[in-house]
Amino acid sequence: MKFSVLSLLGHSPHPLTGELPSAAQRFDEVIGTGVEAERLGFDAYAVGERHAGPFLSSSPGVVLGALAARTSRIRLLTGVTVVAILDPVRVAEDFATLDQISRGRIELVVGKGAEAGHFDLFGLDEERQWDLQKEKYELLRRLWSEEGVDWEGEFRPALKDVTTLPRPYAGAPRVWHGSATSLNSPELAAKHGDPLFTANAIQPRAAYARLIAYYRERFEAYGHDPAGARVAAGSGGLLIADTPRQAVTRYKELYEAKVAQSFRPRLEGKAGYNTPFRTIEEAIADGPQLIGSPQQIIDKILGFHAVYRHDLQSITVDGFGLPLGEQLETLQRFAEEIAPVLRREVPSPLWE
């Protein structure tokens, strides 16, 4: 198994104290955490993209560019690139530039995004989100793999003999398809033989297992070798303590305050937006959140793997409002006490 660290660059008041760091401080923290993730041996670092809600991640390419300049090995991912609202020509140019700067370390995770508000912001029809996603991704794919592209579609002006520059560093970067609630992303990933990145962040495990099973079925139906189907899984945040009892005692108030702060009443009942695991005990027992002792977390990820058969596990350390020092301590404990066991128990050929 391989491991990635994800930040959505959240910028909400602390759920218990109400303190709000400056935007500049948050960018420093996220970039510094990426540098530390490389030092600790993580395989990848991802920055999300949001254009609505309390997030500073509207320009992940800029953040990844800063991180590319301070690292040399770790892969740099998006989480996700909201290709449905973007111009594929601009996406091709921006991330090929990053791919050159980082010497081929860029990979995209594309999706239609987890905030409906960005469609209005960009003057697009939310009802057409999957049509937008499909057309724009397929154009991006051609722009990276072909030169002299002739293209005509519905959502942007036609192209004639277009070659975007720069070209990617060493062929088209790998593109994962982010999947949270709909079969549309698994279908698109399977059609093109691409990997799937399941959110695994809010819903019960069975919901994500359904998406992954559909992806694997369709991957083979499209004629791809099933051995080539790659899957990654997120998580609902990481909190580590020495014992299960200490995890509950130390983090109960913080976890439950964060859940209450993040609750979106207008989206109540809509899958993928509000966690049903409202108490820490529920989250530890049945949720995708990684909370507990190192052994508890190892067992939970192995439980994910038994169902998902995933190659890459993503973790998040800045989602609950821990101070930076404790975030980095959590990252180190995961790297030293959890990751080695999982690498040994469920090895993956991804990136080898």
Residues in a beta bridge with 292: 240
What pLDDT, on the 0 to 100 scale, is given for residue 213?
98
Question: Any idea where the domains of the chain sit in the sequence?
Answer: 2-345
The residue-averaged pLDDT of 146-171 equals: 98
Distance, CA of 31 to chain centre: 16
**Residues 304-313 pLDDT 10s:** 999 999 999 9
Question: Residue 112 above 90 pLDDT?
Answer: no
Q: What is the b/e burial string over 182-221, where b = at least 16 CB atoms within 10 angstroms of the residue's CB?
A: bebbbbbbbbeebbbbbbbbbbebebbeebbebbbebbee
The residue-averaged pLDDT of 100-110 equals: 98
What pLDDT, on the 0 to 100 scale, is given for residue 283?
97
Question: Residue 116 above 70 pLDDT?
Answer: no
- Higher-pLDDT residue of 118 and 348 is 348
**Residues 126-151 pLDDT 10s:** 999 999 999 999 999 999 999 999 99
The three-state secondary structure class of 37 is helix
Question: Residue 238 above 70 pLDDT?
Answer: yes
Tell the CATH superfamily of the 2-345 domain: Luciferase-like domain (3.20.20.30)
What average pLDDT does the structure give for the chain? 96
Cis before 80 (ω within 30): yes
Quick one: pLDDT band at residue 270, thresholds 50, 70, 90? confident
C-alpha distance from residue 327 to each of 45, 288, 316, 323 (Å): 15, 19, 9, 6
What pLDDT, on the 0 to 100 scale, is given for residue 323?
96
Quick one: pLDDT band at residue 273, thresholds 50, 70, 90? confident
Listed in sequence order, the DSSP H helices in 71-197 are 88-101, 117-121, 129-145, 184-192
**Residues 319-351 pLDDT 10s:** 999 999 999 999 999 999 999 999 999 999 999
What percentage of the chain carries pLDDT values higher than 90?
A: 93
Both tokens assigned to 344: 């040994």
